[in-house]
């Protein structure tokens, strides 16, 4: 699966077109809703009452909708103006702010009860990336660490960087939540099957020129016609080659 960070920074990649595609992708909505609910669980908020939540990288407000459903108040920030425009069009319940989290936030300390997507769900490419993130978080004064859901699943394994800051109040202590383990639920099995199908499609079409793809299509079509008993010319090295003056 292609990663947006391989193409451009988020404020450039998530332009108006990509933001609309992101918001209209039913599967993306399902995945983001599931991840947002898990992120809220990992916050381990004290029981009772609505909380004030910071949604870092709120995007088009999909995670904010989950916070709305749970009765929380929230402020969402994102670096992409296009994504925030989509969130505004969706009339989400939180306040929105365009902001680069790397430059800090204009809020006083302890303004929020928790932050989601700072329960960071991410897709590390290498073990060194995981080590770098956890080490940097510790040096910055956070406690917590890495949590991995379904560690034995190749496709459904999810990495979360769960961070705590400040001093625990009263009986509430900073404790790492439990990771999900065991058998992957049916709804996630469907996601695994979809991912596998997409990867097979990408492998078939990766690094192939239009001419190669056209030849494969013609060869498949001729094979189907032969199976139907039709007379079809044999495949040769010239099959699907463009011929001058013939328009194909």
Looking at the chain, the whole-number percentage of residues with pLDDT higher than 70 is: 78
How far apart CA 112 and CA 74 sit, in angstroms, is: 9
The stretch 37-41 carries a mean pLDDT of 88
Handedness of CA 136, 162, 28, 188 (dihedral sign): positive
How far apart CA 142 and CA 162 sit, in angstroms, is: 9
β pairing state of 143-149 and 158-164: antiparallel
Any alpha helices (H) in the chain, and if so which ranges? 10-13, 16-24, 26-42, 62-69, 81-89, 127-139, 186-205, 210-227
The answer on pLDDT for 101 being more than 80 is: yes
What's the confidence (pLDDT) of residue 248? Answer: 47
- Per the CB < 8 A criterion, the answer to whether 118 and 54 are in contact is yes
Phi, psi dihedral angles at 195 (to 5 degrees): -65, -40
C-beta pairs of 199-203 under 8 Å, 24+ apart in sequence: 199/1, 202/1
DSSP-derived secondary structure letter, 150:
S
The stretch 20-39 carries a mean pLDDT of 85
pLDDT band with cut points at 50, 70 and 90 for residue 72: very high
Q: Which residues make Cβ contacts (< 8 Å) with residue 44, sequence separation at least 6?
A: 175, 177
What's the confidence (pLDDT) of residue 160? Answer: 86
- Per the CB < 8 A criterion, the answer to whether 105 and 77 are in contact is yes
Residue that wins the pLDDT comparison between 136 and 217: 136
What's the confidence (pLDDT) of residue 79? Answer: 92
Q: Which of 9-23, 95-109, 172-186, 188-202 has the highest mean pLDDT?
A: 95-109
The answer on pLDDT for 245 being more than 60 is: no
């Amino acid at each position: 699966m292609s990663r947006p960070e391989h193409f451009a920074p988020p404020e450039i990649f998530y332009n108006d077109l990509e933001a609309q595609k992101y918001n209209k992708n039913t599967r993306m909505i399902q995945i983001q809703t599931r991840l947002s609910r898990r992120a809220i669980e990992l916050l381990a908020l004290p029981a009772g009452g609505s909380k004030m939540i910071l949604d870092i990288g709120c995007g088009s407000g999909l995670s904010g909708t989950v916070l709305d459903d749970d009765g929380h108040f929230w402020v969402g920030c994102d670096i992409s103006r296009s994504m925030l425009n989509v969130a505004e069009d969706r009339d989400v319940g939180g306040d929105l702010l365009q902001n680069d989290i790397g430059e800090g936030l204009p809020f006083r300390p302890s303004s929020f009860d928790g932050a989601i997507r700072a329960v960071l769900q991410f897709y590390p490419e290498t073990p060194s990336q995981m080590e770098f993130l956890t080490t940097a978080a510790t040096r910055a004064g956070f406690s917590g660490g890495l949590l991995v859901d379904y560690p034995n699943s190749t496709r459904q394994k999810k990495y979360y960087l769960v961070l705590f800051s400040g001093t625990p109040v009263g009986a509430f202590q900073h404790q790492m939540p439990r990771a999900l383990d065991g058998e992957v639920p049916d709804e996630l099995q469907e996601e695994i099957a979809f991912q596998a199908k997409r990867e097979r499609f990408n492998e078939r079409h990766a690094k192939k020129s239009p001419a190669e793809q056209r030849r494969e299509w013609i060869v498949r079509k001729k094979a189907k016609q032969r199976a139907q008993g039709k007379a079809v010319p044999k495949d040769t090295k010239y099959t699907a080659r463009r011929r001058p003056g013939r328009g194909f």
